[in-house]
């Protein structure tokens, strides 16, 4: 977290924590037919209620919010999180410890629903979900993201380092190389991903640390368009004390995103 982000993070954390569970469960009478699905890790279990609170305080609330936790956390749910389990919010458990569980279990349980994924270490703007759903109405068959990169290659056809995977607005919001980034929210319409999305052996083999890349590959196999949203909400606010453990350090700093995408493209013969 950047130093300049601290005051805003502290203010909104205290604001959200001050709201009673009754206030949260009855905040908005308007809703959108969307399931918000996310996961967290043990080091963030005492902070993830802040993210959940920001989702429950949307101007248009989702019909359901599901937090998928590893089995190791069963019986260890902090009271601040457990108290939120009324109304639309529910905690479920998974045998998986990888980040892929934020989506694949909800795809299995709610195959006919629109599902939005997000990260567990941010406070989301109150219009965040409404913005995403409006994009879904406009592009009902597309995966829509509030944040994206573009998978880039050299003139010789070699994958460039991840730092060069910069989004190029001149190529269009639905270019085939667009990679939805989960941090600011990604919306998946029903049937958007190939059936292999559930193949645990495959994603552990090809992209064990990169759920964004795995889901992108599954979208390409299904011939589903990925788009950057036309109207992007304010950048989510990082939550203090959640950045010590992060996949970013492995995937970006050590170049593992490139390694994992190459494994995916070679195995599935993906062409951009």
CA-to-CA distance for 74 and 156, rounded, in angstroms? Answer: 50
Closest CA to 12 of 128, 120, 130, 124: 124
Contact at 8 Å (CB) between 144 and 187?
yes
pLDDT-derived band at 124 (thresholds 50, 70, 90) equals very high
> What is the tens place of the pLDDT at every residue in 50-96?
999 999 999 999 999 999 999 999 999 999 999 999 889 999 999 99
CATH 3.90.550.10: does it fit domain 3-150+178-199+211-244? yes
Separation between Cα atoms, residue 20 and residue 153, nearest integer Å = 50
Q: Are strands 143-145 and 186-188 parallel, antiparallel or unpaired?
A: antiparallel
- The model's pLDDT over 206-245, given as tens digits with 9 standing for 90+, comes to 999 999 999 999 999 999 999 999 999 999 999 998 876 5
What DSSP string describes 30-52?
A: -EEEEEEEEE--GGGTTTHHHHH
Q: Distance between alpha carbon 245 and the CA centroid of its chain, in Å?
A: 17
pLDDT digits (tens, 9 = 90+) for 162-199: 999 999 988 888 899 999 999 999 999 999 999 999 99
């Amino acid at each position: 977290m950047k130093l300049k982000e601290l005051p805003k993070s502290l203010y909104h954390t205290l604001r959200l924590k001050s709201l009673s569970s009754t206030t949260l469960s009855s905040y908005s009478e308007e809703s959108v037919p969307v399931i918000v699905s996310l996961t967290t890790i043990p080091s963030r279990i005492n902070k993830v209620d802040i993210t959940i609170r920001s989702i429950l305080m949307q101007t248009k609330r989702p019909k359901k919010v599901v937090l998928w936790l590893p089995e190791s956390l069963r019986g260890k749910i902090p009271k601040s999180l457990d108290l939120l389990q009324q109304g639309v919010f529910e905690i479920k458990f998974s045998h998986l410890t990888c980040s892929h569980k934020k989506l694949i279990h909800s795809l299995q349980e709610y195959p006919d629903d629109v599902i939005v994924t997000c990260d567990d270490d941010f406070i989301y703007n109150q219009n965040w979900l409404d913005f995403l759903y409006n994009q879904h109405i406009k592009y009902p068959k597309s995966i829509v993201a509030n944040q994206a990169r573009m998978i880039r290659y050299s003139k010789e056809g070699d994958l460039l380092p991840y730092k060069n995977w910069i989004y190029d607005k001149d190529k269009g919001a639905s270019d085939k190389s667009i990679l939805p980034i989960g941090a600011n929210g990604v919306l998946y319409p029903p049937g958007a991903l190939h059936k292999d999305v559930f193949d645990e052996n495959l994603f552990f083999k090809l992209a064990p640390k990169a759920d964004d890349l795995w889901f992108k590959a599954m979208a390409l196999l299904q011939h589903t368009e990925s788009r950057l949203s036309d109207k992007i909400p304010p950048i989510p606010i990082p939550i203090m004390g959640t950045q010590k453990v992060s996949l970013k350090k492995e995937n970006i700093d050590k170049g593992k995103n490139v390694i994992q995408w190459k494994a995916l493209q070679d195995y599935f013969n993906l062409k951009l």
